[in-house]
Amino acid sequence: MQFKGRVWKFGNNVNTDEIIPAKYLVTSDQKELSKHCLEIIHPQFPKRVKRGDIIAAGENFGCGSSREHAALAIKGAGISCVIAKSFARIFFRNCINIGLPISEEKELPESCSQGDILEIDLTKGFIKNLSTKKEFKTSKFPPFLQEIISSGGLMKWVKKKVIR
Amino acid sequence: MTITEKILAAHSGKKEVVPGDFILADVDLALGNDITAPAAIKEFEKAGGRKVFDPERIVLIPDHFSPAKDLESAQLAKRLKLFAQKQKISHYYELGRMGIEHALIPEKGLVLPGNLVVGADSHTCTYGAVGAFATGVGSTDLAAVFITGKCWFKVPATFKFIYYGKLPRWVGGKDLILYTIGDIGADGAGYKAMEFTGETIKNLPMDDRFTLCNMAIEAGAKSGVIEPDEIVWKSDADSNYSETREYDVRKIEPQVAFPPLPSNTKPIGKVGKILIDQVVIGSCTNGRISDLRIAASIMKGKKVKVRTIVIPATQKIYLEALREGLTEIFIEAGCVVSTPTCGPCLGGHMGVLSEDEVCISTTNRNFIGRMGSPKSKVYLANPAVAAASAIKGRIAHPEE
């Protein structure tokens, strides 16, 4: 899995109410949700985000409500990958399950700036910041999660492994 | 093994599990609501699902935007109802029987000690109060459970909390959990099970235990759990804990969480003068009968100074409040008493905040824009503090 895109920087404890407020949860359509993605803390985000862009955030990204709509809104906005120092666990599951690439990396979020260009290879396990020439190693997912990811998400994995 | 590890091992056909293991576990009960279940139903149908694994083990409750707040939410609730009819799901609760899911499910006795429960709602961790392993998941997880009856987990490490001493007056489950989250932080128990123990917990009433476990998620936890009193499921003496903390509860004052995080807590004595526009007493955190009794004991014979919305969490609680004369006390004090709904807690309806408005609420989250305008502010507290604040028009100690 390889990605190249511009960085959008966010801080610690970005919660799912901020990613997509409850008033928009009357649909689970990615495109529709993406129109309001992160607008509470970054009003320009839904208008200016481009396909392939990357989110780099601090600790506990995606905390709060279990709404899968948060991961869907980010995916619908065209974000290719979310890097955070740490993720809240339900959001983490949701990303794995719907096939939104994510990676936990402790140093990169601090050392990159809004608009930097990153090159990410989750298969080989590295992130290059092309703007600062710094390189980081990403931790690999455990085999169990890799299996779900490479199946293309939880439902496809369920079809393959459990239903038969 | 801890109680959490024992429950997870028993549900995945293993003699033993250790933190970090990935398991595929059998689910005893799976829950969805009017926001999360429609997305799960869509995934279920997209994957070619025809029949759910067991219609008796699925619970569908339209509580978030119900009674329907607009056309779109009416359509979401309708999808829930049609799916329940088609799949013959008996634990579908239509308005009139509906209550806030995390109050209604224990009230109906649907969760037992040692059960494994998943819900497409983050506050599913509430049921740890009866000694179950219960955790929030997403809609796709729920869809997979609909089909297979199974869910994947990473076995969490357990973080042990020991509470000792007698609780001071006006201090309850809400204060214990806010104090604890304030101590360890919004991700202080990230990916972990929080095990609440000690003599204080042994003497803690059931409603307070639900409140305590309900907010484990606000510390990033996977679950919260209290060993059941009739001990079948308990942690071994030689269990491994990732960390242990002890609290002397005699020193804990009623807690107030300042915006924008539940971990941003202060004891009520250090709050200062904060004027408010609205009070909400209710939710899956504090909408149970003992919460309403505490609020009514403070409001009796007095008048509220600000808009105050009281929401009994279930029909049964509503009826009890009516029979005990609590509803009359609230209405005479000038409160609005609503039918059960999650409504204002998540800024859905029945008490959305306008710009620059300030609310003190017995709910569970005070994130930016949680209850409405991103420029509004939410403070979290127990029902006694909320009721006293309603009467004073500012955040107030119940002793006032």
A-chain CB neighbours of B22 within 8 Å are 142, 144-145
- Give me the helix-helix angle, B289-299 and B206-214, nearest 10°: 100
CATH of the domain at A34: 3.20.19.10
**Residues of B in Cβ contact (< 8 Å) with A158:** 47, 144, 147-148
Residues B245 and B335 in one domain: no
Its ipTM equals 0.94
What percentage of residues in chain A have a pLDDT greater than 70? 98
B65 and B178 in a single domain? The answer is yes
How confident is the model at residue B5, as a pLDDT?
A: 98
Residue pointed to by tokens 């050392």: A111
CA distance A94 to chain B (A): 6
Q: Is B25 within a domain? A: yes
pLDDT surpasses 90 at A28: yes
CATH number at residue B273: 3.30.499.10
User: In this structure, which amino acid lies at residue B337?
Assistant: V
Range of the domain at B293: 256-392
Please check whether residues B199 and B304 belong to one and the same domain: no
CA-to-CA distance for B400 and B236, rounded, in angstroms? 45
Name every residue whose Cβ is closer than 8 Å to that of residue A122 and which is 6 or more positions away in sequence: A1, A2, A3, A81, A101, A103, A138
pLDDT at position B302 is: 98
Q: Using DSSP, state whether A83 is helix, strand or coil.
A: strand
Q: Shortest CB distance from A158 goes to which of B47, B70, B73? A: B47
Give the gap in angstroms from C-alpha B140 to the nearest C-alpha of chain A.
6
Maximum CA extent, chain B: 60
* B228 and B345 inside one domain: no
Q: In the predicted model, is pLDDT for residue A142 greater than 90? A: no
Helix (H, G, I), strand (E, B) or coil at B270: helix
Look at residue A5 and give its three-state secondary structure: strand
Interface of A with B (CB under 8 A): 13, 15, 17-18, 21-23, 25-28, 40-41, 59-60, 63-69, 71, 86, 88-90, 93-94, 97-98, 142, 144-145, 148, 153-155, 158-159, 162-163
Q: How many helices (H) and strands (E) does chain A have?
A: 8, 7
Q: Is residue B166 part of a domain?
A: yes
Residues B99 and B225 in one domain: yes
**Residues with pLDDT less than 70, chain B:** 230-231
Number of domains observed in the structure of chain A: 1
pLDDT in tens, B274-288: 999 999 999 999 999
Please say which residue of B208, B226, B252 terminates a domain: B252
Q: Is the pLDDT of residue A74 over 90?
A: yes
For residues B95 and B3, membership in a common domain is answered with: yes
In chain B, what residues touch A145 (CB-CB under 8 Å)? 22
Give the single-character DSSP code of B275: B
> Is there a contact between A66 and B137 if contact means CB atoms under 8 Å apart?
yes
Is the model's pLDDT at A163 over the cut of 70? Answer: no
Average pLDDT over residues A117-127: 93
The neighbour count for residue B243, using CB atoms within 10 Å, is: 13
Structure confidence at residue A161 (pLDDT): 76
In angstroms, the separation between the Cα of residue B318 and the nearest Cα of chain A is 26
Q: With CB atoms and an 8 Å threshold, state whether A154 touches B220.
A: no
Give every strand in the sheet of B223-225, ordered side by side: B223-225, B193-197, B158-164, B243-248
Is the residue at B128 inside a domain? yes
The residue ranking higher by pLDDT, A164 or A46, is A46
B267 shares a domain with B217? no
Q: Does residue A164 carry a pLDDT above 60?
A: no
Q: Is residue B400 part of a domain?
A: no
pLDDT the model gives residue A37: 98
Average pLDDT of the residues of chain A: 94
10 Å Cβ neighbour count for A27?
16
Count up the domains in chain B and report the number. Answer: 2
| Interchain CB distance below 8 Å, B39 and A69 | yes
On the question of pLDDT at A162 being above 70, the answer is: no
